[in-house]
Amino acid sequence: MYDFDKVIPRDNTACVKYDLREAYFNKSDVLPMWVADMDFATPEFIREAVIQRANHPIYGYSFRADEYYHSIIEWLKNRWSWNIEKDWILYSPGIVPGINFAVQSFTQPGDGIIVQPPVYFPFFDAVKSNGRRLVRNLLVNNNGRYEFDYDDLERAAKESAMILLSSPHNPVGRCWTRNELAKLGDICRKHGVIIISDEIHGDLIMPGYKHIPLASIAPEIADVTVTCVAPSKTFNLAGLATSSMIISNEELRGRFKKLLDELHISGGNLFGAVASQAGYEHGGTWLDELMQYVRNNYDFLESSLKRDFTTIEPVILEATYLAWLDFRKTGMKDKVIKDTLIQKCGLGFSHGPVFGEGGGGFQRINLAAPRVKIEEAVDRLKAVFD
Ligand SMILES: Cc1ncc(COP(=O)(O)O)c(C=O)c1O
């Protein structure tokens, strides 16, 4: 029903992915496959809702109406099999700000906070820039499938107040299973560790997999969990600054809300609320088609790499539109991989080492783009790495 093949020029729209190439890569014509937004149009039913609201000429102070909350509740019930209540939903302009608010609300300077590298790098900043202590619990790469290291997590939990969990995981593409999450949740609960479960990619699940919201597993786990959800990745709305922190524990929620109130932040973005509601109300079919398209892009990439390359291997993609590529067999140093990709291939990937320990030798590629761009990327890789 929907056209994901259409190439839409994004240059000169003040867009990070295209218009900041010179600043980021020192080369303005790389094929940009880095920042995690999509080169697909936001679906028409969202654009229509925004345009309709924009046609009313006054954009004054607004609030999020009941229908806005209802759309989130219904979406999470239908797509994630998770029942939540309106009162549990708190606004945050973004997930990264929300994670920082959580760090400030629930921990003290010097407290240990666990991160699980290789992981989305703003997690490290949220710990360090708030003067908290980084406690690493590295993921284990088991023949291309990443897993939690529970023994080490037990060690880390003893010296920590909080964990920042990426679920599904960016960049390693895991859609954690119920058992894996339950085990992680139990360890954290036992040691009084508050879990910030960043589920921003929770809608971007490959056919055949199911996202399990951590807080849906057991009430005892929900009690120590803050769940981050947003329509921003799902419907390509990152520029509209609208997301939610879902907290069922009343005491934790009160502490989080106090900070939001002090910062006067909960007014939010009028158009973000409109877009979010339209997406959650009408976006199911569009999202299913999107994920099938991304799956096909991944299958194309995987089969090309397996057929034509001996040195670049993809890690299995269970969720997100971000594929994690293993360049270690090239035997090249990270800086050389990076320079080669940029200078010789003209490709703008996300550099593995920025995701922390375990990121060396890897690159992340964004597959949320029309197929011709993925084909172009493979051709450019082939010309140099074949
Ligand atoms: C795991 C994860 N969390 C958060 C974000 C960004 O969230 P926001 O733009 O809402 O701050 C991203 C974006 O790539 C992400 O991958």
Q: Answer yes or no: is the C-beta of 196 below 6 A from any ligand 1 atom.
A: no
Task: Kindly state if the Cβ of 96 falls inside 6 Å of ligand 1.
Answer: yes
Residues 32 and 51 in one domain: no
Using a 6 Å cutoff on CB, does residue 167 contact ligand 1? no
- What's the confidence (pLDDT) of residue 197? 99
Read off the pLDDT of each residue in 143-164 and give the average, rounded to a whole number. 97
Q: How far is the CA of 95 from the centre of ligand 1 (A)?
A: 6
DSSP 8-state code for residue 315: P
Omega of the bond prior to 171 within 30 degrees of 0, cis? yes
Task: Indicate whether 147 and 196 sit together in one domain.
Answer: yes
71 and 101 together in one domain: yes
Q: Which atom from ligand 1 is nearest to the alpha carbon of 93?
A: 10
Segment 223-239, tens digit of pLDDT = 999 999 999 999 999 99
Give the Cα separation of 70 and 281 in Å (integer): 9
Classify residue 1: in a domain, yes or no: no
Which one is predicted more confidently, 1 or 30? Answer: 30
278 and 169 in a single domain? The answer is: yes
The response to whether residue 243 sits with its C-beta less than 6 Å from ligand 1 reads: yes
Question: Are residues 324 and 254 both part of a single domain?
Answer: no
The CATH number of residue 311's host domain is 3.90.1150.10
Q: How far is the CA of 5 from the centre of ligand 1 (A)?
A: 25
Closest atom of ligand 1 to 96 CA is 11
Model confidence at 275: pLDDT above 80: yes
For residue 206, pLDDT beyond 90: yes
Domain check: are 220 and 259 in the same one? yes
Mean pLDDT of 64-80: 98
User: Which of 282, 297, 316 marks a domain boundary?
Assistant: 282
CA of 238, closest atom in ligand 1? 9
In a domain, 7, yes or no: no
Q: Is the shortest distance between the CB of 95 and ligand 1 below 6 Å? A: yes
Q: Tell which atom from ligand 1 comes closest to the C-alpha of 119.
A: 1
Would 8 be classed as within a structural domain? no
pLDDT score of 118 more than 90? yes
Q: What separation in angstroms does the CA of 86 have from each of 73, 167, 268?
A: 7, 22, 17
Inside any domain, residue 102: yes
In the prediction, which pLDDT does 360 show? 98
- Residue 266: pLDDT over 90: no
Regarding the beta carbon of 232 and ligand 1, being less than 6 Å apart is answered: yes
Residues with Cβ < 8 Å from 157, sequence gap 6 or more? Answer: 114, 163, 187, 188, 190, 191, 193
* Ligand 1 pocket residue status of 101, Cβ below 6 Å: no
| 153 and 277 part of one domain | yes
The stretch 367-382 carries a mean pLDDT of: 97
Report the mean per-residue pLDDT for the chain. Answer: 97
What pLDDT sits at residue 171? 98
Find, among 291, 256, 257, 262, the residue nearest to 367 by Cα: 291
Q: What is the CATH number of the domain that holds 193?
A: 3.40.640.10
- One domain, residues 257 and 119: yes
- Does residue 53 sit in the same domain as residue 202? yes
Q: Which of 247, 282, 317 marks a domain boundary?
A: 282
Report the 10 Å Cβ neighbour count for 15.
Answer: 15
One domain, residues 379 and 277? no
pLDDT for residue 135: 98
Residue finishing a domain among 256, 282, 308: 282
Q: How far is the CA of 170 from the centre of ligand 1 (A)?
A: 9
Residue whose C-alpha is closest to residue 366's, from 10, 99, 13, 2: 10
370: in domain? yes
Residues 273 and 295 in one domain: no
Q: Which domain holds residue 373?
A: 16-42+284-385
| Ligand 1 in reach of 245 Cβ (< 6 A) | no
Q: What is the pLDDT of residues 288-305, one digit of tens each?
A: 999 999 999 999 999 999
Cα(96) to ligand 1 centroid in Å equals 6
Q: How many domains does the chain have?
A: 2
Write the pLDDT tens digit of every residue in 310-335. 899 999 999 999 999 999 999 999 99
From ligand 1's centre to the CA of 307, what distance in Å? 33
Could you tell me where the DSSP H helices lie in the chain? 16-19, 21-25, 44-55, 66-80, 95-106, 122-128, 150-158, 178-190, 219-222, 250-263, 270-282, 284-308, 334-339, 371-385
Q: Is residue 164 in contact with ligand 1, taking CB distance under 6 Å?
A: no
Non-local (6+) Cβ contacts of 348 within 8 A are 21, 24, 25, 27, 30, 31, 32, 33, 34, 341, 342
Q: 322 in ligand 1 pocket by Cβ < 6 Å?
A: no
Ligand 1 centroid–CA 21 distance in Å is 20
- Residue 198 Cβ < 6 Å to ligand 1: yes
What atom of ligand 1 comes closest to residue 169's alpha carbon?
1
* Residue 91 counted as domain residue: yes
Same domain, 28 and 140: no
